[in-house]
Amino acid sequence: MISKIEFPVDTIEIANIAKAISHPARVYILKKLSKMNSCCYSGDLVEELPIGRSTLSQHLKELKYAGLIQGEIKPPYIKYCINRKNWEKAKKLFSGFLDDSPVIMETTIKRKSKTEPVNL
Partner DNA sequence: AACTAATGTCGTAAACTTACGACATTAATT
Partner DNA sequence: AATTAATGTCGTAAGTTTACGACATTAGTT
Residues lying near DNA in the complex (CB under 7 A) are found at 19, 22-23, 25, 41-44, 46, 51-62, 71, 75-78, 109-115
Cβ-contact 20, 63 below 8 angstroms? yes
Regarding 26 and contact with a second copy (CB under 8 A), the answer is yes
Residues in contact with a second copy, total (CB under 8 A)?
Answer: 64
Task: State whether residue 48 is helix, strand or coil.
Answer: helix
User: Per-residue b/e over 62-74, b at no fewer than 16 CB within 10 Å?
Assistant: bbeebbbbbbeee
Q: How far is the CB of 44 from DNA (least distance, A)?
A: 7
Q: CA-CA distance, 9 to 93, in Å (whole number)?
A: 11
Q: How far is the CB of 20 from a second copy (least distance, A)?
A: 8
Q: How far is the CB of 53 from a second copy (least distance, A)?
A: 12
